[in-house]
């Protein structure tokens, strides 16, 4: 059983410590605020309390804290200790160069404390390391957690993270715009749930443009104009609508 140290007590950590333990690893969570995680099902220690050298350290901290946190770790652990951050957008070079083996492991999922993932085997995990030995370790570790694992370098992972912003974060805000428009007119947002689910389930790995429908795709300017008129009281949404419509029209026409 390998000893794993997880640094940080955010949304990802809540999930990560549990799935690692389920996979048979001996996990310790290091947190500056132990009271906050008192009910988490994992051993919690301060950095000063950690004894020995873990097989691997995971930095589950905000992107902007990766370098600072790894620099602090350099005061406690040898350069031979593998340190892996959990960011999709940050290069592994942001980990302090004191550590010879640096890497990244990023789950492609929006994770929140208290919202369990029902099937980690179907959750894609992306990993990368600065050397072959750690790459192999991360490949074996991720295979114990998921059936979908991908070895992608820093540049690939950054582009994938950007893609996820478009397909997840931005789409969620588009749902919020729909929710606001429905609420303004006394329409239950639930009316849209079937079409939202149907659209998502239609994606099969082929180009989504092949399934694009709507006024912009068919060049229906009259409907577009009516929609823009309805958005007169929301100029920011009207601008977004026009930008999206132009992008669809040009993209589908290629």
- Rounded-to-integer distance, Cα 107 and Cα 117, Å: 11
**Tens-digit pLDDT string for the chain (254 aa):** 469 999 999 999 999 999 999 999 999 999 888 888 888 989 999 888 888 889 999 999 999 999 999 999 999 999 999 999 999 999 999 999 999 999 999 999 989 998 999 899 999 999 999 999 999 999 999 999 999 999 999 999 999 999 999 999 999 999 999 999 999 999 999 999 999 999 999 999 999 999 999 999 999 999 999 999 999 999 999 999 999 999 999 988 66
Strand partners, 31: none
- Rounded-to-integer distance, Cα 29 and Cα 13, Å: 8
pTM: 0.89
- Structural domain for 18, as ranges: 3-152
Task: Examine the fold and report which residue of 125, 152, 179 is the final residue of a domain before the chain moves on.
Answer: 152
CA distances from 49 to 72, 77, 182 (A): 14, 13, 53
- The alpha carbon of 64 is separated from its chain's Cα centroid by a whole number of angstroms, namely 15
pLDDT given for residue 254 in this prediction: 60
Query: How open is the CA angle 1-56-134, to the nearest 5 degrees?
Result: 105
Instruction: Tell me if 27 sits within 8 A of 20, measured CB to CB.
Output: yes
pLDDT given for residue 158 in this prediction: 95
Other CB atoms within 10 Å distance of the CB of residue 89: 16
Task: Examine the fold and report which residue of 127, 152, 177 is the final residue of a domain before the chain moves on.
Answer: 152
CATH number at residue 166: 1.10.1040.20
Q: Is 151 helix (H, G, I), strand (E, B) or coil?
A: strand
> Are residues 227 and 123 part of one domain?
no
Radius of gyration in angstroms for the set of CA atoms belonging to the chain, rounded to a whole number: 22
> Are residues 105 and 127 part of one domain?
yes
pLDDT given for residue 1 in this prediction: 46
CATH number at residue 119: 3.40.50.720
pLDDT given for residue 145 in this prediction: 97
pLDDT given for residue 143 in this prediction: 97
- The alpha carbon of 237 is separated from its chain's Cα centroid by a whole number of angstroms, namely 26
Provide the domain count of the chain. 2
Strand partners, 104: 85, 128
- Rounded-to-integer distance, Cα 227 and Cα 234, Å: 11
């Amino acid at each position: 059983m390998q000893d794993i140290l997880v640094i940080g007590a955010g949304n990802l950590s809540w999930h990560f410590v549990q799935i690692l333990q389920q996979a048979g690893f001996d996990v310790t969570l290091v947190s500056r605020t132990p009271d906050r995680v008192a009910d988490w099902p994992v051993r919690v220690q301060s950095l000063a309390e950690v004894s020995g050298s873990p097989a691997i350290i995971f930095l589950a901290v905000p992107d902007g804290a990766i370098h600072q946190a790894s620099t602090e770790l350099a005061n406690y652990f040898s350069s031979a200790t593998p340190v892996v951050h959990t960011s999709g957008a940050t290069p592994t070079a942001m980990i302090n160069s004191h550590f010879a083996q640096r890497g990244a492991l990023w789950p492609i999922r929006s994770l929140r404390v208290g919202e369990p993932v029902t099937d980690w085997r179907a959750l894609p995990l992306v990993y990368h390391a600065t050397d072959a030995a750690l790459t192999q370790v991360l490949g074996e570790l991720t295979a114990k957690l998921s059936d979908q694992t991908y070895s992608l370098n820093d540049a690939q992972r950054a582009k994938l993270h950007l893609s996820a912003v478009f397909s997840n974060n931005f789409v969620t805000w588009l749902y919020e715009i729909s929710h606001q428009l429905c609420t303004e007119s006394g329409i239950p947002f639930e009316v849209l749930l079937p079409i939202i689910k149907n659209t998502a389930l239609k994606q099969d790995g082929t180009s989504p443009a092949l399934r694009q429908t709507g006024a912009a795709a068919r060049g229906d300017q009259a409907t577009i104009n009516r929609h823009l008129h309805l958005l007169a009281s929301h100029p920011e949404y009207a601008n977004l609508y026009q930008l999206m419509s132009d992008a669809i029209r040009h993209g589908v026409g290629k």
